Amino acid sequence: MANRTSALRPKESRQPECENLAPAGPRRSSCVETFLARFLSPIRINSCEPEGARAIKTLLTIPTTLRTAGHCVFVALLAGALCLFAQTAPPKEHAQTVQPPAVYFEDIAGRAGLTALNVYGGDTHKEFIIEQTGNGAVIFDYDNDGWPDIFLPNGSTVAGFPPGQAPTGHLYHNNHDGTFTDVTVKAGLAHAGWAQGACVGDYDNDGYLDLVVTYWGQTILYHNNGDGTFTDVTEKAGLKTPDNQWSTGCSFIDYDRDGKVDLFLSRYVDFSYETAPHPGQGLTCTWKGIDVSCGPRGLKPGVNALYHNNGDGTFTDVSEKSHIRPASECFGFTSLTADFDQDGWPDIYVACDATANLLYHNNQDGTFTEMAQQAGVAYNEDGFVQSGMGLTAGDYTHDGLEDVVQTNFTDDSPTVYLNRGGMNFDDVTNTAGLAKIRNWLGWGVQFYDFDNSGWPGILIVNGNVYPEVDGKGLGTSYREPRVLYYNLRDGTFANITADAGPALSEMHSGRGLALGDLFNDGHEEALVNNMNEKPSLYYNTKPVGNFISLQLIGVKSNRAAIGAVVTLESGDGRYAQEVRSGGGFVSQSDLRLHFGLGKAATAEKIVIRWPSGLVETLQNLPANHFYVVREGSGIDSSMTHGTSSTPANIAAPK
């Protein structure tokens, strides 16, 4: 009995849909587009359709700029016919022109002083679903010293703890020497409970990043006081909820572009110890013949929420008004914001467990339209519901559009949704090379340029929800390895986990995943929150390519520049990244954008589209610098700095 995937049919083969029509590879302009672009104004057309049809559609939708209509018709038809002819040729084999580099990851968490235990329910038996889900990871610079710090939410147990002995989340201050100091109590963040995810944003634009921690129970907004301490302002801000909601993902988002970040919360199930069935007691309380904790099927889904920032330190629940509610039922986990259709307005994606995913398109008038099904991200390519856990968005094909990778339940693979533009996605998991591993249960996921090649790979953190599966011969285990994919730059990825050192193959039940260059040495680290274990911090000890890092400071836009899109234009195309709150698995990565440059000594052209709409262009930025860019006035040279040496306790190339 499968609590999540019971309604799904085993997927024996994944038949690529559009890839049959447009051979996989980095998404290039279609043949027709390329042909016509020489004559006509560029427009966006559906690149998943047959080229002939697209040629005709193109013809029908574009204004005639040639001298005569007949000429236009002829050119378009000729282009369509030529491209159709070209399509009859057998698809090219994926020429693996890129060889993965030497990569060697070490888990340096212990060396760095990240030693607190994450307590999350039972380790050999879980009575309730609250013990399954685990928690996120956060990398953010809370004290503005230019060195990212770490926050790790913590959980609890069903039995609870005596007063004063309950575990709390942990804030680790970066000592700038490869170590961290636990400053939780001093910072005012020692709070016990079933913490889930966390996200950061500067809701009052005072220059210091504030922190939201989601809970089963009251989600908390912490105001950053700017002196190393935080204050719980939840009630004062109007975020107190009447019931013990189970919020999971969170994202700060300036959905109305008024320069003040609003807050989106995704919610999982309506849960209480009193009403939840016990293992074996209900239809959704066994899995593959063993009694396990029940849900989420059979439980009432949570309800997502959007809070508008009033600009005076308070928020107003606009969930109904904005049409976030009602939406299809969703057991909501990770939320992720991105301007998927490049209209300048941020959209919201929610990974839903055992239910169709949600994609809220921003209508630019304070409302959203849920359109996951129309956009092609509600289900997998065969039309079946998956069990979405984690999310990442990134431009892995260098076309300037943000694609999505979603992690799912066991007996299923992660899903790669290729963004075709215009809120159209295609599930290209099979051709991307991620359909092969199906026996692990995915959580945290990040597009991750771990060698600074400029082409993001993918890191996935796994772990089953049921400790009871261990020793049952079910082909899975509670603790599972990570998986690392290298971007081969042709639309496909290679699994290089086995060649990346033993650390990634060690078994953990991982959940949250966040990225950041913690030591300002040009290497991005990956922080993982593990169930009932200490965290992991992965560092690639092998040499990496050149890079630039960009910290954006909004002036008219929100101070943390959440929603800003930065595009690196080079001979390799247009590589876009977005300043984002949320993602991973209910996690928060460093807000600085890290662009690998490979061997390039400069970033040729950087285009910043601020949330306010202002577009700024920077050119020929020398590599290996951490740039601070202030909206409207370019690089702040007083805050820009070069690369630091890797701390001795961290650097140990193999």
Partner 1 sequence: MIRRHMLVVFATLLVVASAISFAQTPSPAAAPPQAKDTILKATDITAHLFPTTVFFHGQTATSQMDNAGGVRYADGQLVLAALVDSSGYASQFRMKYQGYLITEVEIFISGQTLKPGAYGFGFLDNNKFVVMDLGGNDVLQVTSTRDADIRHPMPLQIVAGAGAGNYRLYHGRDYIEFHRQGH
Give me the residues that bind partner 1 (CB under 8 A), please.
1-3, 6-7, 9-10, 12, 15, 17, 20-21, 48-50, 52-53, 55-56, 73-74, 77-78, 80-81, 84, 283-284, 297-298, 328-329, 355-356, 373-376, 378-379, 381-385
φ, ψ of residue 646 in degrees (nearest 5): -65, 130
The answer to whether the Cα torsion of 250, 407, 196, 148 is positive or negative is negative
**Minimal distance, residue 219 CB to partner 1, in Å:** 27
Closest among 297, 298, 294, 315 to 252, alpha carbons compared: 315
Spatial distance between the Cα atoms of 346 and 368, rounded to a whole number of angstroms: 10
Nearer to partner 1, 84 or 614 (CB): 84
Nearer to partner 1, 10 or 163 (CB): 10
**Minimal distance, residue 295 CB to partner 1, in Å:** 11
Nearer to partner 1, 17 or 499 (CB): 17
**Minimal distance, residue 378 CB to partner 1, in Å:** 8
Nearer to partner 1, 3 or 214 (CB): 3
Please list, in sequence order, all residues whose beta carbon lies within 8 angstroms of the beta carbon of residue 123, skipping any fewer than 6 positions away. Answer: 467, 531, 532
**Minimal distance, residue 354 CB to partner 1, in Å:** 9
Q: Does residue 191 contact residue 220 with C-beta atoms inside 8 Å? A: yes
Residue with tokens 């920077």: 618
**Minimal distance, residue 262 CB to partner 1, in Å:** 28
Q: Does residue 334 contact residue 390 with C-beta atoms inside 8 Å? A: yes
**Minimal distance, residue 185 CB to partner 1, in Å:** 45
Nearer to partner 1, 40 or 198 (CB): 40
**Minimal distance, residue 384 CB to partner 1, in Å:** 5
Nearer to partner 1, 26 or 298 (CB): 298
Pair of tokens at residue 651? 């650097």
The answer to whether the Cα torsion of 54, 56, 57, 58 is positive or negative is positive
C-alpha of 423 from chain center: 18
**Minimal distance, residue 244 CB to partner 1, in Å:** 25
Nearer to partner 1, 370 or 480 (CB): 370
The two beta strands, 625-630 and 546-553, are: parallel
Pair of tokens at residue 263? 């807050």
Residue type, 436: K
φ, ψ of residue 195 in degrees (nearest 5): -70, 145
The answer to whether the Cα torsion of 490, 491, 497, 498 is positive or negative is negative
Helix axes 69-87, 51-61, angle to 10 degrees: 160
Closest among 300, 303, 304, 284 to 292, alpha carbons compared: 284
**Minimal distance, residue 383 CB to partner 1, in Å:** 3
Spatial distance between the Cα atoms of 602 and 625, rounded to a whole number of angstroms: 10
**Minimal distance, residue 31 CB to partner 1, in Å:** 13
Please tell me whether the peptide bond between 326 and the residue prior to it is cis, using omega within 30 degrees of 0.
Answer: yes
Nearer to partner 1, 104 or 384 (CB): 384
Measured from the Cβ of residue 321, the count of other Cβ atoms closer than 10 Å reads: 13
Nearer to partner 1, 284 or 334 (CB): 284
Measured from the Cβ of residue 499, the count of other Cβ atoms closer than 10 Å reads: 15
Nearer to partner 1, 57 or 641 (CB): 57
